[in-house]
């Protein structure tokens, strides 16, 4: 059992490759090699874009969030790296070699059958149940933010938009929606910027759709919604158009070959009224029951 680091020294962090970019900065694969003998562990280092002061406060909050989360279904926090003098710092996380769910499913390894997709869904659901127990709302649950630890384990990997629900409220209202992933948003999040555990459940339904679509680009939520809105109309307010078709009871179509009881699970997550959506705890039971059916 190696002692989890909390402070990493920049000079021992050796850059290996770029893993990806977000609207905050970028994530790199590095080797932390203090002994200089190449025995160091590989880590994922989240670097903040320089001179983005506003982001620094969000970044500190993200570090605060991720360092307080301990679950098998959430990417592990390792520590922080205080860059020399720059005042900014980097977030050091465990490195998951299989990358994000999108890349993993696109390669569609043939062994990723429906049972395996349901296993992944139940793990994401357990991660969200844990997050809810800590009074966090994620606000950006999407396949792109789920990491693959192994062929039988996925973890929620990004907490950039996560907020704490105030103790006296059932929802969180954001002031200005930044880069909003509206195609993963519940109606009340689109129209009133209201976020709750039940808006996370709506997003979980979208993640179920992504899973059973094997994250195929042609079936991705944004593309399907834009087709439904009719991308020919000059788009000034996509969010208003999306809100209206959802109000008219349009929902994402069942992915090809999607089992009916899985599609009905998605539809439960997409109930117009937030109170009508299942809690993550009952979603977990639904998924286990579906997995059990297959066994019988």
Ligand X SMILES: C[C@H](Nc1nc(-c2c[nH]c3ncc(Cl)cc23)ncc1F)C(=O)NCC(F)(F)F
Residues tagged active-site: 140
DSSP string across 9-75: -GGGEEEEEEEEE-SSEEEEEEEE-TTSSS-PEEEEEEEEPTT-HHHHHHHHHHHHHHHT---TTBP
Query: Packing angle between helix 197-212 and helix 114-133, nearest 10 degrees?
Result: 160
**Beta-strand pair 77-82/7-8:** parallel
73 binds ligand X (CB under 6 A): no
65 binds ligand X (CB under 6 A): no
158 binds ligand X (CB under 6 A): yes
- CB distance 47 to 15 below 8 Å: no
> Least distance from C-beta 118 to ligand X, angstroms?
21
Binding mask 224-243 for ligand X (x = CB under 6 A): --------------------
Tokens for 276, please give them.
């009508």
Report the C-alpha gap between 83 and 48 in whole angstroms. 11
96 binds ligand X (CB under 6 A): yes
147 binds ligand X (CB under 6 A): yes
Among 77, 95, 172, 243, binds ligand X (CB under 6 A): 95
19 binds ligand X (CB under 6 A): yes
Among 27, 48, 125, 286, binds ligand X (CB under 6 A): 27
Tokens for 85, please give them.
């003098």
Which has the closest alpha carbon to 245: 179, 190, 174?
Answer: 190
> Least distance from C-beta 22 to ligand X, angstroms?
4
Does residue 148 sit in helix, strand or coil?
strand
> Which class for 238: exposed (0-12), middle (13-18), buried (19 or more C-beta within 10 A)?
middle
> Least distance from C-beta 257 to ligand X, angstroms?
26
Nearer to ligand X, 24 or 183 (CB): 24
99 binds ligand X (CB under 6 A): yes
> Least distance from C-beta 149 to ligand X, angstroms?
9
Report the C-alpha gap between 133 and 69 in whole angstroms. 11
> Least distance from C-beta 123 to ligand X, angstroms?
14
Which residue has tokens 């994402």? Answer: 252
Among 30, 93, 246, 258, binds ligand X (CB under 6 A): 93
Among 13, 44, 142, 225, binds ligand X (CB under 6 A): 44
The residues in 177-216 that bind ligand X, with binding defined as CB under 6 A, are none
Contact positions vs ligand X (CB under 6 A):
19-22, 27, 44, 75, 93, 95-96, 99-100, 145, 147, 157-158
């Amino acid at each position: 059992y190696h002692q989890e680091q909390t402070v990493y020294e920049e000079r021992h962090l050796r850059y290996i490759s770029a893993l990806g970019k977000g609207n905050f900065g970028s994530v790199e694969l590095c080797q932390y090699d203090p002994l200089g003998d190449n025995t160091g562990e590989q880590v994922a280092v989240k670097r903040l874009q320089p001179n983005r002061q506003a982001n620094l406060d969000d970044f500190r909050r993200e570090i605060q969030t991720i360092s307080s989360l301990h679950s098998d279904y959430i990417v592990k926090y390792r520590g922080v790296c205080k860059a020399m003098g720059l005042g900014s710092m980097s977030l050091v996380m465990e490195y998951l070699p299989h990358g994000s769910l999108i890349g993993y499913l696109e390669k569609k390894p043939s062994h990723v059958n429906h049972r395996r997709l349901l296993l992944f869904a139940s793990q994401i659901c357990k991660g969200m149940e844990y997050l809810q127990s800590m009074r966090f709302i994620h606000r950006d649950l999407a396949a792109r933010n789920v990491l693959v630890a192994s062929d039988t384990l996925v973890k929620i990997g990004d907490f950039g938009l996560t907020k704490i629900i105030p103790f006296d409220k059932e929802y969180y209202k954001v002031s200005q929606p930044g880069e909003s992933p509206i195609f993963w948003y519940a109606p009340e999040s689109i129209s009133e910027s209201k976020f709750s555990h039940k808006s996370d459940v709506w997003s979980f339904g979208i993640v179920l759709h992504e899973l059973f679509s094997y994250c195929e680009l042609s079936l991705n939520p944004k593309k399907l919604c834009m087709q439904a809105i009719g991308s020919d109309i000059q788009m000034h307010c996509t969010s208003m158009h999306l809100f209206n078709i959802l109000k008219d009871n349009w929902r994402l179509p069942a992915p090809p070959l999607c089992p009916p009881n899985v599609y009905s699970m998605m539809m439960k997550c997409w109930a117009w009224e937030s109170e009508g959506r299942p809690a993550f705890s009952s979603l977990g039971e639904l998924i286990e029951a579906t997995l059990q059916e297959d066994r019988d």
